Every structure is written in structure tokens, then in C-alpha cells.
């Protein structure tokens, strides 16, 4: 049973470009969470999605960041017009459902903005 998949594992973007990070949850999981880990810090919650719905986006920056989890395909975290401060590791986690308190993490995408 494959775990949570994220791609790419490493992404380099120039300032002003767009970054698209993908997350495929574990089989049978319909809930996805995105977290950001800045250098030397713990993880911070960004957004919680169910298929076709954003449940909680209280941790998302107000501008340039968006997330989706379509009916088919992976969840996508999109960062427009990236800045150096967006450089971080972005982790996705999945869980089977709202009543489950277990979250399983992917390997992360390390974004570097030059």
C-alpha cells in the first residue's frame, strides 16, 4: 500500500514564477492537509481539504497561495509570483476521514526560490 506521494521532491523557482506542488493521498484517504516547514522551525498548518471542498484555510497566506483537491487527481498547492520567503519544505498529510485523528505525511517538496 503506497504511502502519501508528493512531487516534485525538489523545486527551484526564480522570484516571480509560479510553483505547483502535488500530493497524492494514501489509497482510501479522502482528506488532505498541507503544512509548511520553514528552515529551523516546526511545521505550520496551511489548509485542510476534502475532495472538491476546502474545509479550513485559516493557515493560508491571504495572497498568492491557493489549494485544490479535485474529484480526480492529486491535491495541488499553488504559489503564484514566488518570493524568497516562500522557500521552505511543504508537506502534505492524508487521513481516511474527518473522524480519524491519524495523519500520514508525505516526503515533502523542498521549494527553493532564487
Partner 1 sequence: GEDVEQSLFLSVREGDSSVINCTYTDSSSTYLYWYKQEPGAGLQLLTYIFSNMDMKQDQRLTVLLNKKDKHLSLRIADTQTGDSAIYFCAEAKAGGGNKLTFGTGTQLKVEL
List interacting residues with partner 1 (CB under 8 A).
4, 6, 31, 33, 35, 41-45, 48, 55-56, 58-59, 91, 93, 95, 98, 100-108
Q: Which residues contact 72 (CB under 8 A, 6 or more apart)?
A: none
Q: How far apart are CA 29 and CA 24, in angstroms?
A: 9
Q: Which is nearer to partner 1, 17 or 107 (CB)?
A: 107
Minimum separation from the CB atom of position 1 to partner 1 (A): 15
Which residue number, 17 or 59, has a Cβ lying nearer to partner 1?
59
Whether residue 102 contacts residue 95, with contact meaning beta carbons closer than 8 Å, is answered with yes
**What is the closest distance, in whole angstroms, from the C-beta atom of residue 81 to partner 1 in the complex?**
26
Q: Which residue number, 104 or 112, has a Cβ lying nearer to partner 1?
A: 104
CB of 42 to partner 1, least distance (A): 4
d(CA 14, CA 84): 9
What does DSSP say about strands 65-68 and 88-95: parallel, antiparallel, or unpaired?
unpaired
Amino acid at each position: 500500500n503506497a504511502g502519501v506521494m508528493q512531487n516534485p521532491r525538489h523545486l527551484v523557482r526564480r522570484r516571480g514564477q509560479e510553483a505547483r506542488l502535488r500530493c497524492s493521498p494514501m489509497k482510501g484517504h479522502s482528506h488532505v492537509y498541507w503544512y509548511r516547514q520553514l528552515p529551523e522551525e516546526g511545521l505550520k498548518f496551511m489548509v485542510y481539504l476534502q475532495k472538491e471542498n476546502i474545509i479550513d484555510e485559516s493557515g493560508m497566506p491571504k495572497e498568492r497561495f491557493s489549494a485544490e483537491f479535485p474529484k480526480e487527481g492529486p491535491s495541488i498547492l499553488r504559489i503564484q509570483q514566488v518570493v524568497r520567503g516562500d522557500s521552505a519544505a511543504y508537506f502534505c498529510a492524508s487521513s481516511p476521514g474527518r473522524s480519524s485523528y491519524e495523519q500520514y505525511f508525505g516526503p515533502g517538496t523542498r521549494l527553493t526560490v532564487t
